[in-house]
Amino acid sequence: MKKYIVLALVALLALVSGCMSSIPSPTSIPTPDITPPELVSITAHLNDGTEKSLEKEGTKWTLQLTKGDTVSYAEAVVSEPVKLVEGANPVITMSGEGFQDVVHSTITVDSQNPTKLRIIPNPGYATANVAGTFTLTMASGVIEDYAGNRNTKVNLTLIVKEMPTPGPIPTPVTSPTPTSTLSQEELNQIKQYGHDKEHLVRWPYGNIYVYDYTGFPKLQTVFDKWNEVLEGKANLVLTNDLRKAQVKVMIDNSISSQCGWASVTWEDFKIVSGEVKVTDYCFSDLAVYLHEFGHILGIGEHTSTGIMASIATGSEIDPFAAKLMQNIYSLPIGYNFP
Ligand SMILES: [Zn+2]
């Protein structure tokens, strides 16, 4: 009898557990799409058939053009299929260098492939006529994915650089006769601020050819100021012949300094090449270029004030830096400091 009851209980348990197992396990509820569409890449197509991919750093896109370049259209790849938001103005606006929120280009979604945007510049802005730095903006809420998530604001920096125009090529002074009529104090200053503590390091007399990738419009002004200081012994000359270039100037946002960076290489105390890097942030800052070319020419260390101070300001070469440079160029290369 007892045995029978136990069996019945077991049967009941089996029934209960059978029932339990027949309860459908919850199926995965679809997670709602809350991710807004994002631009994955942007490529500018120029009318000469070349393409330029925009560089992305953080959330900022950058495009570098040379004055005169014409963009036929740009194509942006989006992270998911999108459509234009109804009622939104599908345009990219531009500001900078005297422009304020002008309508630069129009955005359409590729009808064949809704993950692609086609950005077509308005006729007046297809050709980069003005050199400088511009901000292009695609407002938030212009495109949306199929779940209705709308894009956040997209910022692009457009840098239009000048074609390097070679300046007048001055005639270098021939057969220089360096004088060493410097005072001990002046020699000590060169030791302190020059590139080497024991020997004089400088460029040989003559032209120093510079190739500028940055298209800084006032580079010739920078050269004129230093060339005046150098009194014809050495001359900074802009060239568009890369093979001839001894100094290269470029934009580099990865340098450790906020603004600018310069380096030179020398052989037997004769400088043979140099490199200047400036960040986007300081592109167009005359003081930064003046300062970096001070390093290129021969001042290795920072002075406490003036254009060669670690934070350069102003648009002139101060008398101390000018005299220091003149003294450097009054001594023979490799001169052994007493
Ligand atoms: Zn410096």
Question: How far does residue 259's CA lie from ligand 1's centre (Å)?
Answer: 9
277 CA → ligand 1 middle, Å: 11
Q: Which two tokens stand for residue 70?
A: 């014409």
Tell me what pLDDT residue 289 has.
97
Cα(119) to ligand 1 centroid in Å equals 41
With 0.75 as the threshold, say if the pTM is over it. no
Separation CA 195–CA 86 (nearest Å): 63
Higher pLDDT, 2 or 227: 227
**Residues with Cβ within 8 Å of residue 46, at least 6 apart in sequence:** 52, 69, 70, 71, 72
- The whole-number pLDDT of residue 176 equals 47
- Kindly tell me if the per-residue pLDDT of 25 is higher than 70: no
Task: Give the distance (Å) from ligand 1 centre to CA of residue 88.
Answer: 48
Model confidence at 15: pLDDT above 80: no
**What is the Å distance from ligand 1's center to 134 Cα?**
27
pLDDT at 29: 67
Residue pLDDT, tens place only, 104-128: 888 989 988 898 998 888 877 888 8
How many whole angstroms from 59 Cα to the centroid of ligand 1?
29
181 versus 241: the higher-pLDDT residue is: 241
Where does the pLDDT of residue 181 fall: very low under 50, low under 70, confident under 90, or very high at 90 and above?
Answer: confident
Q: How many residues does the chain have?
A: 338
Question: How far, in Å, from the CA of 235 to the mean position of ligand 1?
Answer: 21
What is the whole-number distance in angstroms between the Cα of residue 118 and the centre of ligand 1? 43
| Average pLDDT, integer, range 269-288 | 94
Least reliable range by pLDDT among 60-64, 206-210, 276-280: 60-64
What are phi and psi for residue 321, nearest 5 degrees?
-65, -40
Centroid of ligand 1 to alpha carbon of 197 (angstroms): 17
Q: What is the average per-residue pLDDT within 29-58?
A: 82
Give me the residue label for tokens 């809704």.
Answer: 114
- Look at phi and psi of residue 328 and say left if phi exceeds 0, alpha if psi is from -120 to 50, else beta: alpha
Which is nearest to 213 in space by CA: 243, 252, 244? 252
> Is residue 306's pLDDT more than 80?
yes
Residue 62: its pLDDT value, please? 82
Q: How confident is the model at residue 173 (pLDDT cuts 50, 70, 90)?
A: low
Fold entry, domain 184-328? Collagenase (Catalytic Domain) (3.40.390)
39-161 fold: Immunoglobulin-like (2.60.40)
Ligand 1 centroid to residue 244 C-alpha, Å? 25
Show me where the domains of the chain are located.
39-161, 184-328
Q: What is the pLDDT of residue 4?
A: 39
Written as six digits, the tokens of 240 are 């568009």
Q: How many helices (H) and strands (E) does the chain have?
A: 5, 17
The mean pLDDT of 23-27, rounded to a whole number, is: 52
Cα separation, 262 vs 201, whole angstroms: 15
The candidate with the shortest Cα–Cα distance to 64, out of 137, 133, 116, is 133
Task: Fill in the amino acid letter for 74.
Answer: A
How many beta carbons lie within 10 A of that of residue 113, not counting itself? 12
Q: Who wins on pLDDT, 6 or 86?
A: 86
Which residues contact residue 213 at a Cβ distance below 8 angstroms, ignoring those fewer than 6 apart?
Answer: 161, 248, 249, 250, 251
Of 36, 142, 147, 138, give the one whose Cα is nearest residue 85.
142
The Cα 226–Cα 262 span in angstroms is: 16
Rounded Cα distance between 231 and 172, Å, is 10
Q: Give the model confidence (pLDDT) of 187-216 as tens digits.
A: 999 999 999 999 999 999 999 999 999 999
**pLDDT number for residue 143:** 94
Over residues 56-62, the mean pLDDT reads 79
pLDDT of the residue at 239: 97
Q: In the 8-state DSSP scheme, what is residue 123?
A: G
- Measured in Å, residue 173 CA sits from the centre of ligand 1 at 29
> Which residues, 6+ apart, have CB-to-CB distance to 222 below 8 Å?
216, 236, 286, 289, 290, 293
Average pLDDT, rounded, for the chain: 85
Cα of 288 from ligand 1 centre, angstroms: 8
Q: Which of 239, 221, 190 is nearest to 288 (CA)?
A: 221
